[in-house]
């Protein structure tokens, strides 16, 4: 493991210790924070490769914390939480999280999810031409930015990659399984609901361009002007 730094944010000491010990054995460098206020102080001097954050914490809940982190940090974030209903998952991903893992989970699954997120965020190769347009959407691929009518839309890395992939194959209908393989990778352990959740948050964020991402009932999704 090449100098991969993790910031573990959880108000339960036993959980932090368990995660830190296990992930250290897996080759990660780990720093802990017991709440959101302490985490923000840590981020003043520590630059993690990935952040693991609980949702239900005192002082600053995980959602509020991630919203603050995303104002100045772009590193991958994974929520670890007992709150597993759909609204929480959508809200967490919309705030900028790259994955959302519901407790209880196995440490092996956590390690695989971390590896998958790091592989995607570090190793994703996008086309090198900087500008590409699709209807009222425009992509700055070097900056990984999306604009609707020249107004930037804030997307997570996975939302960006999913939207770009669909728009680069206009009219082509992709199943959820196919999208998981092409965008998340063949070794991704999440369910096909991950695609549905990302599509839903994409449409919320795209506003007047939301209709570009179309549902083909019983099959999957496509991009079409």
Continuous segment of H or E residues that includes residue 45: none
User: Which long-range contacts (C-beta less than 8 Å, at least 24 apart) are formed by 195-198?
Assistant: 195/162, 195/220, 195/221, 197/86, 197/89, 197/90, 197/93, 198/93, 198/158, 198/159, 198/162
C-beta separation of 42 from 33 below 8 A: yes
pTM of the predicted model as reported, rounded to 2 decimal places: 0.56
What distance, in Å, lies between the first and last C-alpha atoms of the chain? 43
Tell me the residue ranges of DSSP E strands in the chain: 5-9, 29-33, 50-53, 77-81, 99-102, 131-134, 137-140, 145-148, 151-153, 174-175, 213-216, 220-223
Q: Give domain limits for the chain.
A: 5-123, 131-223
Q: What strands, in cross-sheet order, belong to the sheet with 131-134?
A: 131-134, 137-140, 145-148, 151-153
What's the CATH fold of domain 5-123? Rossmann fold (3.40.50)
What distance lies between CA 218 and its chain's CA centroid?
26
Residues sharing a CB contact under 8 Å with residue 140, sequence separation 6 or more, in sequence order: 130, 131, 146, 147
Q: Collapsing DSSP states into helix, strand and coil, what is residue 115?
A: helix
Does domain 131-223 fall under CATH 3.10.129.10? My reply is no
pLDDT at 125: 36
Local confidence pLDDT in tens for the 225 residues of the chain:
457 899 999 999 999 999 999 999 888 999 999 999 999 999 988 889 899 999 999 888 999 999 888 887 878 999 998 877 788 888 888 888 888 998 888 898 898 889 888 877 764 433 334 567 888 999 887 677 899 988 899 988 889 889 998 998 888 899 998 898 888 876 666 788 899 999 999 999 999 999 999 999 989 999 988
| Polymer length of the chain | 225
Q: From 68, 97, 194, select the one nearest 155 (Cα to Cα).
A: 97
């Amino acid at each position: 493991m090449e100098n991969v730094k993790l910031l573990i944010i959880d108000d339960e000491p036993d959980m932090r210790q368990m995660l830190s010990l296990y992930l250290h054995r897996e080759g990660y460098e780990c720093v802990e924070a017991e709440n959101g206020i302490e985490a923000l102080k840590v981020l003043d001097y520590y630059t993690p490769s990935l952040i693991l954050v609980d949702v239900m914490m005192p002082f600053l809940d995980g959602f509020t914390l991630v919203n603050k982190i995303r104002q100045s940090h772009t590193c991958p974030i994974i929520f670890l939480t007992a709150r597993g209903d759909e609204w929480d998952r959508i809200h967490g991903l919309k705030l900028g999280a790259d994955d959302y893992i519901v407790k209880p989970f196995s440490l092996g699954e956590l390690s695989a999810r971390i590896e998958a997120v790091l592989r995607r965020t570090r190793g994703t190769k996008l086309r090198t031409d900087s500008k590409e347009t699709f209807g009222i959407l425009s992509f700055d691929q070097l900056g990984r930015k999306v604009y609707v009518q020249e107004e930037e839309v804030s997307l997570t890395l996975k939302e960006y990659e999913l939207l770009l992939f669909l728009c680069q194959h206009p009219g082509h209908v992709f199943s959820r399984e196919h999208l998981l393989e092409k965008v998340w990778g063949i070794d991704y352990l999440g369910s096909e609901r991950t695609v549905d959740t990302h599509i839903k948050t994409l449409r919320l964020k795209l506003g007047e361009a939301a209709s570009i991402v179309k549902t083909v009932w019983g099959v999957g999704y496509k991009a079409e002007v």
